[in-house]
Amino acid sequence: MKHLIIKTSLSLLLITLVFSGCKKSLEDKFVNPESTDAASIPGYFADLIHNDRVRPSYWNLRTFLLTHSAVYAQTAFFNPTTGMYQQIDGYTNDYWKDFYAPGVMGMYRAMEVAYAAMPEDEKARNAIFMEAAKVVLYDQAAQMVDNFGDIPFSEAGSLPTTNTVKLPKFDEQEALYTSFIQGLDEASKYFATAATTSDFNKYDILNSGSLDKWRRYANSVRLRLLMRISTKYEATARPAVLEMLNNPAQYPLVDGNNVKDYNPATSDILLRPLTTNTNSLTDAFRELPSYYASDYMLNKVMNPSNDPRIPVLFDKFGVTEDEVFTPNPTYRAMPITFTEAQVTAEFSKYSIIDSATIWMNAALPGLVVTASEVNFLKAEAQERWGSTAAAQTAYETAVAQSISFYYYLNSISSGKKEIKPSPAEVNDFVLTSSIAYTGTAAEKLTLIGTQKWLHYGVLQAQHAWAEVRRTGIPALTFVPATLAGYTLPPTRLMYPSVEKSNNAANYQAVQAKDTRTTKIFWQP
């Protein structure tokens, strides 16, 4: 196997192995297609989707989300150490690298090269792969922006596309978001009239060749991005969002057809595990009982409302004495104000993240877009700009769908199955508990934001953190850490050291912005 060895930015070292003639690629792992040595757009596309930064894999969940986003958004408990809010540079380096090389960006550049070399008739047959790949690329790149701000994008990966080594500039984050929003709209229009192919059906390991789901995926990510900018750039977001919500036939969404007791397996955009990736969370949570329930989530939100999701999100935990396990009598979270000494002394008294639904669930998919998220986005938009009645309908649907979703995750595990509440029980919870849709407009927006944050939880902590920064909901209490310079959570992640050193000339242009307190452009 030949290797191209060039000292350059990680964002330029795009999938060297893909272009080196390596005979073992992911193309012969998915749906067991015929193995091939030739560059293949379908194979690259399957590789692009096969993303362990989307799956709940050990390296993404344990080393990145649970040490950064989940800490800053408090969707899981974290040990109160002196540096609890400090960014871990090594893990950020890995996250950065896994987007550029050999991640989504790397595979997309490989697809561009292969596509450009094709005759026109082959381009026509492979255009569908390029459009679907763009949706994934824009989704993942927007999350990079949410974490870092300006990122290399337009010039990233110039080597395979131009045969020229060029260190990539950092593109301005607002311009990138604008291009993503426009590109997603164009992709949705493409899928509205496109025809699928047998190859696309075979290699599409995300949506199984469903053009309707690709269209809904594109629209839903676009809605997410528009709402993300809406607090600061309302004049831009409002008309675009209302156009989408007022024209559901033109802009279908991943909303479960607005059915409360819906089927996530057929509606949501979920990256399902492959047979080679079935024990990722066993590793991710092997430090039991390190992962406790969030104080705010369980004690402040779910317990007061007697939330039916509690049994599928948390275990009571307890102690073992004389080989007899005694669970705690109730679900309760460890207070956020605990010291390290208190955590050590009293850890067995508090609830942990559920083992069957999350911790030991080998069937757990990667969460890309869920119906509950989309309906929460619709609820916020309607409450701010449309009908409060429509907002209430969307909110109540979103909460009920979140219940359906987490019980679905529990049902596909090999662990203890919880009894799903009946539609009547769910309806009673939504309408009569402390989460019922009542109060002023501001109070209703707080309900929406809090329940959306709860739904994102541990598995989509990156979006929970983004929404907390955008809206300030929920109003979390952060105990200051004692490490100088890291007393509170950041407003963005700093660029990883490897990018700063290997792309030093271009880094200079963004160096002044590279602080823990610099806001992402959409933050008010």
Q: What is the mean pLDDT of residues 465-471?
A: 98
pLDDT at residue 102, rounded to an integer: 80
The answer to whether position 342 is within a domain reads yes
Domain that holds residue 424: 254-459
pLDDT at residue 38, rounded to an integer: 46
User: Nearest Cα to 395, choosing from 270, 263, 523, 255?
Assistant: 255
pLDDT at 360 over 80: yes
Pick the more confident residue, 471 or 6. Answer: 471
pLDDT at 523 over 90: yes
pLDDT at 90 over 60: yes
The answer to whether position 466 is within a domain reads no
Query: Residue 119, preceding bond cis, omega within 30 degrees?
Result: no
Q: What is the mean pLDDT of residues 66-70?
A: 95
pLDDT at 24 over 50: no
Q: What is the mean pLDDT of residues 42-46?
A: 95
pLDDT at residue 225, rounded to an integer: 98
pLDDT at residue 457, rounded to an integer: 97
Residue 515's CB is within 10 A of a number of other CB atoms, namely 12
Tell me the C-alpha distance between 261 and 392, whole Å: 17
Q: Which residues pair with 151 in a beta bridge?
A: 171
What is each CA distance from 334 to 218, 225, 291, 339, in whole angstroms?
A: 39, 34, 11, 11
What tokens were used for 256? 């479960």
pLDDT at residue 322, rounded to an integer: 66
pLDDT at residue 5, rounded to an integer: 25
pLDDT at 487 over 60: yes
Q: Which residues pair with 315 in a beta bridge?
A: 352
pLDDT at residue 158, rounded to an integer: 66
* pTM score, whole prediction: 0.91
Grouping H, G, I as helix, E, B as strand and the rest as coil, residue 59 is helix
pLDDT at 271 over 60: yes
The answer to whether position 237 is within a domain reads no
pLDDT at 495 over 70: yes
pLDDT at residue 28, rounded to an integer: 40
The answer to whether position 362 is within a domain reads yes
Give the pLDDT band of residue 323 (cuts 50, 70, 90). low
Tell me the C-alpha distance between 469 and 197, whole Å: 42
The answer to whether position 322 is within a domain reads yes
CB 281 within 8 A of CB 56: yes
pLDDT at 364 over 80: yes
pLDDT at residue 511, rounded to an integer: 98
The answer to whether position 411 is within a domain reads yes
Domain at 397, CATH number: 1.25.40.390
Dihedral sign computed on CA atoms, order 1, 95, 452, 78: positive
Tell me the C-alpha distance between 215 and 22, whole Å: 34
pLDDT in tens, 393-403: 999 999 999 99
472: left (phi over 0), alpha (psi -120 to 50) or beta: left
pLDDT at 6 over 50: no
Pick the more confident residue, 9 or 275. Answer: 275
DSSP code, position 513: G
Q: Which residues pair with 270 in a beta bridge?
A: 367
Q: What is the mean pLDDT of residues 95-119?
A: 93
Query: Which has the minimum average pLDDT: 29-33, 267-271, 343-347, 500-504?
Result: 29-33
pLDDT at residue 321, rounded to an integer: 66
CB 369 within 8 A of CB 221: yes
Half-sphere exposure of 158 (CA within 13 A, CB side): 13
pLDDT in tens, 413-454: 988 999 999 999 999 999 999 999 999 999 999 999 999 999
CB 61 within 8 A of CB 371: no
Average pLDDT taken over every residue of the chain:
89
The answer to whether position 266 is within a domain reads yes
Give the pLDDT band of residue 159 (cuts 50, 70, 90). low
pLDDT at 77 over 70: yes
User: Nearest Cα to 209, choosing from 121, 132, 107, 114?
Assistant: 132
How far is it between the farthest Cα atoms of the chain?
73
pLDDT at residue 166, rounded to an integer: 80
CB 180 within 8 A of CB 142: yes
pLDDT in tens, 191-238: 999 999 999 999 999 999 999 999 999 999 999 999 999 999 999 999
User: Nearest Cα to 372, choosing from 397, 389, 354?
Assistant: 397
Q: Which residues pair with 318 in a beta bridge?
A: 327
pLDDT at 54 over 60: yes
User: Nearest Cα to 294, choosing from 474, 130, 519?
Assistant: 474
Q: What are phi and psi of 319, to 5 degrees?
A: -130, 155
Q: How many domains does the chain have?
A: 1
The answer to whether position 350 is within a domain reads yes
